[in-house]
Amino acid sequence: MPKLRVHNLAVSIDGYVAGPDQSLENPLGVGGMGLHEWAFATRTGHRMQDTDGGDEGLDDELLAQGDVGIGATIMGRNMFGPVRGPWGGDQWTGWWGENPPYHHPVFVLTHYPHPSITMQGGTTFHFVDDGIEAALDRAKDAAEGADVRIGGGASTVQQYLRAGLIDEMHLAVVPILLGGGERLFDHLDGGPDGYECVEFVSSPGVAHVRFRRAPK
């Protein structure tokens, strides 16, 4: 059975996946970049930015694992871009340049229809306006038997957690305090019940926790 997985979701010690005061200039909020420095420092992180070098080791391995066996990604609209409300023009094609680091179909949750966007390197952005289960169905079809990943952000992860649809969730706990922002474990109505920790390993800069939904 293909799985729905969350990988490399970076969360601060005080529970935030983005800092306070998110804006176009500061899409991760104040201090939010500090959640991702460990990833950018790795070899996999360098490759995603089309640069050489970067550190090997645990952080790199776990970052890379997030791509293994994934055939499609689902993300929230705010992760795709800063436009809110109706789309207006079609200029915005994501934060990631002409060759996004997905290389597979990406399903963007939105309340407003938008034509698909084909990028270089195998990434196509599709826009789904009829709910998270429809998005999951389309992503599973597109993945052709491979797993589906939830790319983020917090609200999207929460919606799928609340619906009990996430099979595995890997969090990267980063030893910083953000003091505010977007909280991962919020609005869950008991959603995270029934997950057990199946892996807990740490690098000098990150504690990696992998939860799996316990069999019912």
Which residues form the interface with a second copy (CB under 8 A)?
11, 13-15, 171, 173, 175-177, 179-180, 184-185, 188, 190-193, 195, 197, 200-202, 204-205, 207, 209, 211
Contact 136, 106 (CB under 8 A): no
Measured CA distances, 104 to 13, 15, 50, 69, 114 (Å): 32, 30, 17, 11, 18
Alpha carbon distance 71, 182 (integer Å):
28
- 22 vs 123 by CB, closer to a second copy: 22
- 116 vs 202 by CB, closer to a second copy: 202
Q: Which residues, listed in sequence order, are joined to residue 148 by a DSSP beta bridge? A: 4, 72
Other residues' Cβ atoms within 10 Å of the Cβ of residue 3 = 15
Q: At its nearest, how many Å lie between a second copy and the CB of residue 108?
A: 27
- 134 vs 214 by CB, closer to a second copy: 214
- 98 vs 193 by CB, closer to a second copy: 193
Q: At its nearest, how many Å lie between a second copy and the CB of residue 192?
A: 5
- 30 vs 146 by CB, closer to a second copy: 30
Q: At its nearest, how many Å lie between a second copy and the CB of residue 140?
A: 26
Q: At its nearest, how many Å lie between a second copy and the CB of residue 132?
A: 20
- 4 vs 128 by CB, closer to a second copy: 4
Q: At its nearest, how many Å lie between a second copy and the CB of residue 8?
A: 15
- Per-residue tokens: 190: 């008991």
Sign, CA torsion 136/97/171/30: negative
Q: At its nearest, how many Å lie between a second copy and the CB of residue 42?
A: 17
DSSP states along 57-108: SHHHHHHHHTTTTEEEEEEEHHHH-S--SS--SS----TT-SS-S--SEEEE
Contact 196, 214 (CB under 8 A): yes
